[in-house]
Every structure is written in C-alpha cells, then in structure tokens.
Amino acid sequence: MENRNIIVIGASAGGISALKQLCSSLPADLNASVFIVWHMAPAVRGVLPQILNQVSAIHAAHGVDGEPIVSNRMYIAPPDHHMLIEQGRIRISHGPKENRFRPAVDPLFRSAAYTYGNRVIGVVLSGALDDGTAGLWTIKYRGGLTIVQDPIDAEVSSMPDSAIRQVTIDHIIPAEQMGPLLAKLVQDPANKDTPIAMEEDEKTKAELEIAGADTASGTSIFQFGVPSTYACPECHGVLTMLKDGNITRFRCHTGHAFSADALLEALTESIEDSLYNAIRGVDESVILLNHLGDHFAEANQPRAAAVYFQRATKVSEQAAMVRKAIRLAGLSADDEEPDAPENPKMPV
C-alpha cells in the first residue's frame, strides 16, 4: 500500500506568509511531491519559487507542461495558467478561469484527487472568498486527508472559514505547525480505496477536460447539473448549477466556473460598473445642460437659460440618488465618496 505522498496547497490573499512558514519546516527528505497554487494577477511575474527557495530545503520551481512528478520537489503553478496533475506528470493549461482566477486552487485539488485518490493531502491556507473549498471536498470524497489553516492564524480567513464550514476537515492548525504534521502524515500508508459514484466520477473527469483545454468545446457540463437563472459574468453564457455534496457552484458552457461567493462578487462588481457608467452619462448630461444654459444666458435669453439650468439641477439630483443607492447597497468599496455637488447654476 502506498503512502500519502501527494500534497496540494492552495492560498490567496495573505498566503505568502503562511506558505513561507509551512515550507520552511518541511524536511529535505519529505518523500512526497508538493504542488502549490497561489492566486496572482496574470501580469505578475512569478516570484513565488524564488521566495520559497530562500526558506525551504525542498527545491521549488514553476511547473512545466508534461514534466514528470518526482519526490522532494515543489511545483508552483505559473502565472495565468492552471496546474493539473495527471498520472506521473504535470499538466499546465490556459483553460477557462475558475472562481475568477487562473491559476485557481480547485482545478489542482480536483485533478490530484481524481488521479491519486486516497494518496492526496489537501491544504487550504489564508485567502479571500472560497476557492479551494470544492476541490477540498473532492479530495475528502475520494479518501484523501484535509488540512486547513486555523482562521485565527490566517491573515485573511475567508478561504479557511469556507472550507471548515462545508468540508469535513481532518486537521485545523496554524501554518507554522503544518510542516511537522505533513512530515508525519506522509509516512502513513493511505487508506483503502473509496468507492466513487459513477456520475461523480464522470463529472470530475469532464471538469478536468475543461480545465485542461483552452475551451470547453466537445465537453458538456449540462448533464451533471441543472440550468440556473444566472448568466456567466465572464462570457454571458447560461450557468449550470452543480453540486458537490452540499456545496453549490456554477459553470457555463464555455468553461468558466464560480463558487457561490465568487459569482456573487462578480455580479456585484458588474452591477457597480453599470451604475457608475450610468452616473458618468448623467454627469456628462449635466455638463452639457449647464453649457447650453450659459450659452442662452450670454445670448440674453434668460427664460431658455433657466429651462436648461433647471433640467441640470434635476439630473444632478438623480445622479446623487444613484450614488446613495450604491452606498446603501454596499456595492462601492469607497465609502467616503461624496455626493455630487449641488448644481451651482441658478435660474436667471
């Protein structure tokens, strides 16, 4: 019976500190392979391997497509690419974003669980929202072990909190204690194989095919869920609602995937953008109305000028109401944004 020698780690905001604490305490002879996804913007230069090599006895480098998996090595997902695990090798892809990120944690976790089952140990560290929760559920469902950073210890507790709420977690500990725990766990033989429902197995396989390709062409996700009333914030396609146990998430026909929290954040941003576009248009109308009012006032036509100034005042009030609605709904990150100034023009 083989040991639990596949370790997958996911982190986002606040994750660098946690990763350094974890990796610095791993022994050089861990006899396991470590795979790490850390959320980053596409244009960000991949600096994580350099950071971890300064503190870890195990060599870290970006994963390369087709690279063989070996022990005592840390594979880091490169910027703007998913990292997946196949039998004995790494798969690097530019597949659709999941939870608004590429790389995302869930595809890595899902692929590890699908390929290595009960040999996998999944670790969720500091981060915002809930990427990693669905993937951690798949690891647990397929017989693997689950570890989550204690939310009190995390700089940003949303990802650990979400995992703890929705997945059965084997260990909840501070990041600095994870290295010794992992060194102990990889010495233990994996449990016997866990029976997997055929539909769940087919769903996971389909999602890995989507994550591993540039498009979802030829792979239908509709059969594994039910159509939702929501449109994909990325491409506006119909979202299918999927279930992982009690976890609800969504995926569109082009492949974009969202947890409930990630979808809510995306929709909220879309609403805010639309409202601010409306405000921009209204503000431009106010400028034009005042300009016309000035024109008629200079032409000694006070009644016509008054009409335009009054309309400008009314439109300014409407813009102020939209700004207030944004703040009351909690859509704007800028709570200090002032109301639009009262129209300075007075009817002549």
DSSP string, 83-106: EEEETTEEEEE----BTTBSS-HH
Contacts of 184 (CB under 8 A, 6+ apart): none
Name residue, tokens 């197995």: 201
Residue 119 lies in a domain: yes
39 and 173 fall within a common domain: yes
Residue 232 counted as domain residue: no
Q: Does residue 248 fall inside a structural domain?
A: no
User: Rounded to an integer, what distance in angstroms lies between the CA atom of residue 73 and that of residue 57?
Assistant: 10
Angle between helices 133-141 and 105-116 (to 10 degrees): 10
How far apart, in whole angstroms, are the C-alpha atoms of residue 104 and residue 82? 6
CA distance 216 to 198: 21
- DSSP secondary structure letters along 224-248: GSEEEEEEPTTT-PEEEEEEETTEE
Residues 30 and 179 in one domain: yes
Q: What pLDDT shows up at residue 346?
A: 39
Tell me, yes or no, whether 334 lies in a domain: no
**pLDDT under 70: residue ranges of the chain:** 1, 214-219, 270, 273, 326, 329-348
Query: According to the model, what pLDDT value does residue 308 have?
Result: 86
320 domain-assigned: yes
Six token digits for residue 6: 């596949």
State the pTM of this model.
0.82
Check: CB of residue 172 under 8 Å from CB of residue 148.
yes
What local confidence, expressed as pLDDT, does residue 339 receive?
38
Cα-Cα-Cα-Cα torsion 44, 46, 50, 51, nearest 10 degrees, comes to: 50
Helix, strand, or coil (residue 275): helix
Are 155 and 282 in the same domain? no
Distance CA 168, CA 222 (A): 28
What is the side-by-side order of every strand in the sheet holding 226-231?
A: 226-231, 238-244, 247-252, 257-259
pLDDT at 337: 38
**Same structural domain, 16 and 151:** yes
CB 139 within 8 A of CB 4: no
Domain count across the chain: 2
Q: Among 135, 157, 185, give the residue marking a domain's end.
A: 185
Structural domain harbouring 314 = 268-328
CA distances from 330 to 2, 231, 268, 327, 335 (A): 51, 22, 9, 5, 9
- Given 164, 185, 206, which residue is the final one in a domain? 185
CA pair distance 279, 321, nearest whole angstrom: 10
Domain assignment present for residue 208? The answer is: no
Looking at the fold, whether 44 and 169 belong to one and the same domain comes out as yes
Q: What is the pLDDT of residue 344?
A: 43
Residue 127 lies in a domain: yes
Give pLDDT tens digits for 291-346: 888 988 998 998 888 988 899 898 888 878 877 776 776 654 444 333 333 444 43
What positions carry a catalytic annotation? 12, 39, 131
Amino acid (1-letter code) at residue 55: V
In a domain, 118, yes or no: yes
For the stretch 330-344, pLDDT in tens is 654 444 333 333 444
Query: Residue 76 is part of a domain; what is its CATH number?
Result: 3.40.50.180
Angle, vertex CA 123, rays to CA 121 and CA 128, nearest 5: 155
- Which burial class, exposed, middle or buried, applies to 243 when counting CB atoms under 10 A from its CB (0-12, 13-18, 19+)? middle
